[in-house]
Structure 1
C-alpha cells in the first residue's frame, strides 16, 4: 500500500490539493501498477512563519520580495 506524504509551504486551495492527489495517484498507478484504491496521500501545509531557509523565515523572505527588496533574492 503506497503512502505519500507531501509538504508545501503556505496554503493551497481545495481544488489544487484535489488535483495533486489525482496526479500523484495516477502516477503511482501508471508507473508502479498500484491499485488506486489503496494509494494514500497526505498533504501537510506548513505555515511560512514556521519554515525557514537561508537563515530567515520564508514569510520574511516573501515579504521582502513583495516589497521589491533586491537583497531578499538569494541568487545575489
Structure 2
C-alpha cells in the first residue's frame, strides 16, 4: 500500500490538486504495479509564512 505525501505552498486550485492526485497515482501504479485503489496520496499545504528557502520566507517574495 504505497503512501505518497506531497508538500505544497497554499494556493493551488481544487482542479490542480485533483490532477496532481491522478498523475501521482498513475506514476506509482506504473512503477510499482500497485493497484490504484491501494495508492494513497496526501497533500500537505503550507502557509507561505511558514516556509523559507535561501534565508527568506516564501511570503516575503510575493
* TM > 0.5: yes
2:20 corresponds to which residue? 20
Query: If the length of structure 1 is used for normalisation, what is the TM-score?
Result: 0.76
- Separation in 2, partners of 1:54, 1:30: 35
RMSD over aligned Cα atoms: 0.9
- Distance in 1, matches of 2:23 and 2:12, equals 15
- Listed one character per residue, the Cα deviations across residues 35-67 of structure 1 (whole Å, up to 9, x for unaligned) are 10010010011111111111121110x23xxxx
Cα distance, 1:10 vs. partner? 2.6
Higher relative contact order, structure no. (Cα contacts within 8 Å, ≥ 6 residues apart)? 2
TM-score (norm 2): 0.91
Q: Could you list the runs of 5+ residues in structure 1 that have no partner in the other structure?
A: 64-76
Structure 2 residue aligned with 1:43: 43
In structure 2, runs of 5+ residues without a counterpart are: none
Q: Aligned residue for 2:5?
A: 5
